[in-house]
Amino acid sequence: MSTRPISLADIEATAKKVQARAQGKVESKKQTMVTAAAAGGVVLLLLFFLLGKRSGRKKTTLVEIRRV
């Protein structure tokens, strides 16, 4: 263990290392998250469309008119 005091430069260097490491991880995950969000949006849109289509079909009334 060293007995020299911790300077402001030491703290700044450590903070920059941590920030650079975190920034690298965020950049590597960003493209994956954008792709996953887009795919999830498309799936939700398709699901809502199909549920709405089915719901509309269930509530449709058929009226038959006959001439006597």
| Range with lowest mean pLDDT among 8-17, 44-53, 59-68 | 59-68
pTM for this entry: 0.48
Q: Which two tokens stand for residue 28?
A: 């590597």
Give the percent of the chain with pLDDT over 90.
Answer: 40
Average pLDDT over residues 26-42: 91
Smallest CA-to-CA distance from 6 within 17, 14, 21, 18 is with: 14
Q: Which two tokens stand for residue 57?
A: 């079909």
| Structure confidence at residue 12 (pLDDT) | 94
Query: Rounded distance, CA 68 to CA 60, Å?
Result: 25
Query: Rounded distance, CA 54 to CA 36, Å?
Result: 27
Query: Rounded distance, CA 23 to CA 61, Å?
Result: 58
